[in-house]
Amino acid sequence: MTKAKAYPLDRSDREFKRLRIQAEALAAESDVMLQRIGVGSGWNCLDIGCGVGGITDLLSARVGPSGHVLGVDLDESSLVAARGWAEGLNLDNVSFQQANVLALDLPAESFDLVHMRYVVTTIRHYEEVIRNAYALVKPGGWLVLEESDSEGLHCYPEHPAWYRLKTLLQDVFDAVGADTRAGRRCWPIMRALGLEGLSFRPCQAGCRSGDDLVDYLPQTIISSRRFVAEHGLMEDAELDRLIADCRAHLADLDTLSTNVTLVQIWGRKPE
Ligand SMILES: C[S@@+](CC[C@H](N)C(=O)[O-])C[C@H]1O[C@@H](n2cnc3c(N)ncnc32)[C@H](O)[C@@H]1O
């Protein structure tokens, strides 16, 4: 079994909140994709690396009471948060269980749709992760990826603190064996699987001052701060100053920013 290197983000309540804000900001774009795929009543769906909920709520609404959505994640504390959240929303057709995408113990070819968002981004192992997920898709079912391309991170007007933090985010992910530009690297692997109707849809969330997602870049850096120190990428005092400068810039009503590009790639396993 392949062993994942260190996961680049912490698993604190603050990080869980960041994931929830991110999921809400991306929900409309993920749902457009599910609509295009035609996810419907009675489907059996799997969200691998669902974290504190992932897109299980969107899938739940589409598959209805005759369908089922399973969310799996390596991390039990994330699943505890996911279960509490799903209960609060009365998602009766959703369940969660612990699983490692690098050593999956789920029945082969049993899901109508298998989805991952920001999983390859955080653990790499591109080929193995994608092939393991593919093995669970029924013939005629869908394999669906949403991964990151950090080149999409921009702010207007440009500000040096923003761009230093962007580079730092890319460097810290590289240092732990993750990849903020995983989206583009997944395409040839998805193509090689011979999926039918292979689709590519890059999309992006944008923020103004005061939007929930506006603190994405400082927050993500804070969640990977332990590894910034461990790999000697930046001194604490400089990091604190950059985060404060970046936040002050983002708080300006004239500042706009764009998030990492959400690279959506999906296709159907031949019958
Ligand atoms: C950036 S989070 C994304 C969570 C969720 N997909 C979303 O979009 O909100 C990545 C998730 O992948 C999970 N993960 C990391 N390594 C994993 C593995 N080997 N198997 C399963 N899940 C894993 C992490 O615990 C984390 O919850």
Q: Could you tell me if the CB of 23 is within 6 A of ligand 1?
A: yes
**Under CATH, domain 13-268 is a member of which superfamily?**
Vaccinia Virus protein VP39 (3.40.50.150)
For a substitution probing ligand 1, which of 13, 97, 123 has the most ligand atoms within 8 Å of its CB? Answer: 123
* Closest residue CA from atom 20 of ligand 1: 100
CB 217 within 8 A of CB 246: yes
What string of DSSP letters covers 209-231? TT-GGGGHHHHHHHHTHHHHHHT
Sheet with 206-208: strands ordered across: 154-156, 256-258, 206-208
Residue 213 reports pLDDT greater than 90: yes
The mean pLDDT of 66-95, rounded to a whole number, is: 98
Domain ranges in the chain are: 13-268
Q: Is the CB of 49 under 6 A from ligand 1?
A: yes
3-state helix, strand, coil in the chain (%, to 5): 45, 25, 30
| Tokens coding 214 | 């506006």
β-pair type (137-149, 206-208): unpaired
Instruction: Flag whether pLDDT at 48 surpasses 70.
Output: yes
Query: How far is ligand 1, taken at its centre, from the CA of residue 117, in Å?
Result: 8
Gap from CA of 74 to ligand 1 centroid (Å): 7
Confidence band for 3, pLDDT divided at 50, 70 and 90: low
pLDDT of residue 2: 56
Q: Which two tokens stand for residue 258?
A: 């764009």
pTM of the model: 0.96
Find the 49 Cα to ligand 1 centroid distance in Å: 3
Give pLDDT, residue 4.
53
Look at strands 256-258 and 206-208 and give their pairing: antiparallel
Digit-coded pLDDT (tens) for 247-268? 999 999 999 999 999 999 999 9
pLDDT tens digit sequence for 141-185: 999 999 999 999 999 999 999 999 999 999 999 999 999 999 999
Query: At 6, is the pLDDT very low, low, confident or very high (cuts 50, 70, 90)?
Result: confident
Give CA–CA dist 200/59, Å, rounded. Answer: 20
CA of 56 to the centre of ligand 1 (A): 13
Tokens standing for residue 152: 């999409």
| Distance (Å) of CA 180 to CA 70, 88, 183, 235, 263 | 26, 32, 8, 22, 11
User: Contact, 7 vs 39, CB < 8 A?
Assistant: no
